[in-house]
Copies of this chain bind each other. A is one copy, B any other.
Amino acid sequence: MPTTASKKQITIYDIADRAGTSASTVGAVLNGSWRNRRISEKRAETIRQIAEEMGYAPNMQARALRSVRSRMIGMILPMYENRYFGAIAERFEMEARARGLLPMTSCTRREPDLELATVRQMLSYNVDRIVCTGATDPDGIARICDAQGVPTINLDLPGTAAPSIISDNYTGAYKLTAALIDRANAVGSNWQNDFLFVGGRPTDHNTSERIRGFREAITDAGALPTEENIMACGYAAAKSKAALSAKVESTGRMPTAMFVNSTVSLEGVFDWLGQHHRKALDTILFGSFDWDPFAQYTAQNLFSVRQDVPSMLDAMFRIIDSEPPHEAEVIQVEPIVISYRTREHAPARATER
């Protein structure tokens, strides 16, 4: 055992030398194509043993260079610091690894330029496929990937140039809003003019669908949605904080209920209330599109929509595993509405030692 490491990877040539055979035979044995090459079982066994002894690991660069497929799969996503996207990244990696693929996740902060740059970088490494999660311009990304023959697939936000797996945002928002209204009615509070929608980008599909669900639930409850109460001010915590602050300032009163479009935005809302109106945390009815374990205990009345990440990723990998001609359909997965009182419905966290 030398103190200076061997520095050298073992190659099929090294194994061929030791086995007294040729590199192509070794290669065939080690990559599984040996049956079609009529290599004898005995020789194959010898080679496998030597490879094991020498600690052989294939050089994926060389393999990818030659065979074009790299066995890498990329994913871009807006951020990690959020339970929804964090869970997506974790599960994506597990599933990819289970298929012998090297997962490459990268967070691009909802910045279109960074998304494109990252995708280009991944293409340079010849990834076999790219998953665009919550991308601002999925079709633009699909175009440049297509030019290199790399398929894409959209998650969370849909595109028209590749298959998309998204939550059923309309239904989730409708149910969430309806649940808030039910509770408001139950406690006899007057919500009709003081029901806010906060956060998200009016231009993105998810937000517009959620607004639609929000509006219809209100209409179906016999009220009129108030347009000034719909504040799709962006996702950032600072923006929802500012929007809520301005709203309360201008109307001079607290909202009765709030539909908050993401936990990031909820963070801003709680931050402002926590600083200036802590009591309101116990009186306002909150609905959060996305779930966070701690948010559950912060407000007295919080309903959450938890997007069904496992089902979404299962649907996605079902497409990935199937044969190539994939049409650009949009698959909607229904999310789960959780109220604080029924939080026992929340799926258990993966166990950890």
Contacts and interface: CB of A to CB of B under 8 A. Distances in A.
Nearest to A121: B102
B351 A236 contact: yes
A343 B263 CA distance: 19
Given A59-B124, A267-B294, A353-B111, A86 B81 contact: yes
A110 B61 contact: no
Interface stretch (A141-149, A188-196, A323-331): A141-149
Contacts of A146: 5
Contact of A59 (B65, B89, B103, B149): B65
Contact of A353 (B85, B110, B348, B353): B110
Interface stretch (A168-176, A244-252, A295-303, A311-319): A295-303
Interface in A50-91: 55, 57-62, 64-65, 70, 72, 78-83, 85-87, 89-90
A61 B66 CA distance: 9
Given A87-B81, A126-B60, A236 B65 contact: no
A128 interface: no
Given A61-B65, A234-B352, A236-B351, A6 B271 contact: no
A6 to B, nearest CB: 6
Nearest to A300: B278
| Count of chain copies | 2
Contacts of A148: 5-7, 9
Given A6-B147, A90-B79, A58 B236 contact: no
A61 B125 contact: yes
Interface in A326-352: 343-344, 348-352
Contacts of A90: 79-81, 107
B236 A7 contact: no
Given A65-B62, A90-B79, A148-B9, A350 B109 contact: yes
A80 B86 CA distance: 5
A149 B103 CA distance: 23
A209 interface: no
Q: Find the residue from A78, A117, A235, A267 having the highest chain B CB count within 10 A.
A: A267
A258 to B, nearest CB: 15
A123 interface: yes
A73 to B, nearest CB: 12
A293 interface: yes
A281 interface: yes
B296 A295 contact: no
Contact of A352 (B123, B235, B281): B235
Nearest to A149: B7
Interface string A218-247: 000000000000000011111000000000
Nearest to A62: B65
Contacts of A264: 352
A106 interface: yes
A270 interface: yes
A125 B102 contact: yes
A105 interface: yes
Given A61-B61, A264-B352, A271-B293, 17 more contacts: A5-B146, A5-B148, A58-B124, A59-B124, A60-B126, A61-B126, A62-B65, A72-B125, A80-B85, A80-B90, A102-B104, A102-B121, A110-B352, A111-B353, A267-B294, A267-B349, A274-B296
